Amino acid sequence: MALLVEGLSLSTICNQFPPIKGYLSGKLNGMLEFSLPAFELSGARGRARFWAIASKEEPRKISKELITRLGGKPGKLFSFFWRDRPYDHGLLDVTFVDQSLVFQRLELLHRNFFGKRDLEIKVVPPFNTIAVEDLIGTIQETWERVQGMGG
């Protein structure tokens, strides 16, 4: 099965999950290929590639909160003035094999008006795999916490 995606909203996706609400905005295009022989998860294989596109409806931005969570610093001069940082390049390339998601590439980059890169977020190769079982467990645990807080 293959699915072509055009104009997918990162804001809409993030806003569906309260712990990451407001973290990213921008529109995505991409393609998802997936096969599930005999409807068994153990035989599933797939690949997804999404990239950020320019959009007047939803500018490409990453929240200050997400940058801080990732260990980055917004910069002394700008930390008081800006809330979200623009990015001009976003890419997600992931494969699904052996019941794990393997991030081949995950990038959020920005170049300022001087042409210098002032934002660079990339996946670290030793930490680029997550078992789907762990991912689902984390999502369920997060959802239970949110429900427990009355969210």
Which pLDDT belongs to residue 77? 46
1 vs 25: which has the higher pLDDT: 25
Check: pTM over 0.85? Answer yes or no.
Answer: no
Pick from 66-75, 76-85, 104-113: least confident: 76-85
**pLDDT by residue (tens digit) across 6-44?**
999 999 988 887 778 889 999 999 998 988 777 676 777
d(CA 141, CA 24): 22
- Find the mean pLDDT for residues 60-89: 73
Q: CB–CB of 105/125 below 8 Å?
A: no
Q: What is the largest CA-CA distance in the chain?
A: 57
d(CA 75, CA 100): 36
N-to-C CA span, the chain: 35
Is residue 145 predicted with pLDDT exceeding 80? Answer: no
